Amino acid sequence: MPESASTNGHLVEENEVDKLLAPFDNIETELKKINEELLREETLLQAKYELKKAKLYKQRNEVISKTDKFWSTALENHPVLSSLIEMDDMDAIQHLSEINVVRDTDNPINYKIVFRFTENPYFSNEELVKEFDFSNPEDVKVTNHPINWKEGKSLVKEDLGTKGKEATAEEDDEEGENESFFKWFYETIQGLEIAEIIADDFFPDAVRYFANLAEDLAEEDDDGHILESLVDAEEVEESGDDDENVDSDALADDAGEDEDDYKVQVDPSELQGLAEEAAEAEAEANHPRKRKKTD
């Protein structure tokens, strides 16, 4: 049958490729092991230095506590995390007062992510916590601490909190019925990517993500309009520069013209006559007869 022939032909092509690649198998396997080892070492090194930043992060949080809506603003500016925040989540997120990544001092690759909230209408927890144990890369352990929703205020499906299984979260994703940032606090393995984004990107660079919006606000006035004074100031400065950078040659020419207006114009023949008259007057003054009369 043609279909069978076609299938066999495809299999033959695959077998040929396998034969071509076969000599590289052992080498590629060893290279993969080294790359995995490198990735592991890089992760450990990053975790080690993140732990060394703990005191500075504490000092930073003291400053952040004096900045209104810092964390909610930073979250809304993050390209990935902001996509997880639904409209129904917005009010609860406004009560977010602090985020911390607390690393294990003995093994800093392990950490817990802590979201602290002020009193709010949605849950009674002061903190929402997830813990991650990466000691065994083949068996990462995720511990979710329950959210104590207030009656009728849950932002995720109630059965997700009770069943708490990965399958339940995936089923809800497929049905599109449980979209919420707070769903992440129920996820296990499928939530690792978000955990790594928070721990290794968002939290260390929180000020930068907050500043993205701060830079935009700095260009707006109280009515939300872009300030035009900066443009006006530049125009004034350029105008001032034009006044200051007047052509020096032109000034010199003008000065020269003015100087010429005040010069006495004398004919050379007149100068010669004046010189002769002065010489005759001197000769007459020195004549002997003139001297006797004078004496």
Question: How far apart (Å, rounded) are the C-alpha atoms in residues 60 and 70?
Answer: 12
Q: What percent of the chain clears pLDDT 90, i.e. is strictly above it?
A: 52
Q: How many domains does the chain have?
A: 2
Comparison of pLDDT for 156 and 221, the residue scoring more: 156
Which residue, 218, 241, 270, sits at the end of a domain?
218
pLDDT digits over 139-194, tens only?
A: 999 999 999 999 999 999 764 644 444 434 444 444 445 689 999 999 999 899 99
pTM for this prediction:
0.62
The 3-state DSSP class for residue 218 equals: helix
Tell me if 81 sits within 8 A of 202, measured CB to CB: yes
pLDDT digits over 44-89, tens only?
A: 999 999 999 999 999 999 999 999 999 999 999 999 999 999 999 9
Asked whether residue 252 carries a pLDDT value surpassing 80, the answer given is no
- Domain holding 36, by residue range, is 12-52
CA angle 6, 7, 11 (to 5 degrees): 115
Name 127's bridge partners: 116
Output the average pLDDT for the chain: 76
Q: Which of 187, 154, 165, 158 is nearest to 84 (CA)?
A: 187
Q: Let me know if 175 is exposed, middle or buried by CB neighbors in 10 A (0-12, 13-18, 19+).
A: exposed
The 3-state DSSP class for residue 85 equals: coil
Residue whose tokens read 């721990």: 199
pLDDT digits over 97-147, tens only?
A: 999 999 999 999 999 999 999 999 999 999 999 999 999 988 999 999 999
CATH number of the CATH domain containing 204: 3.30.1120.90
Same domain for 76 and 206, yes or no, is yes
Which residue, 218, 253, 279, sits at the end of a domain?
218
Which residue, 37, 52, 67, sits at the end of a domain?
52
How confident is the model over 10-26, as a mean pLDDT? Answer: 80
Q: Which of 189, 185, 181, 200 is nearest to 103 (CA)?
A: 200
Same domain for 172 and 43, yes or no, is no
Asked whether residue 211 carries a pLDDT value surpassing 70, the answer given is yes
Same domain for 28 and 95, yes or no, is no
Residue 272: per-residue pLDDT: 54
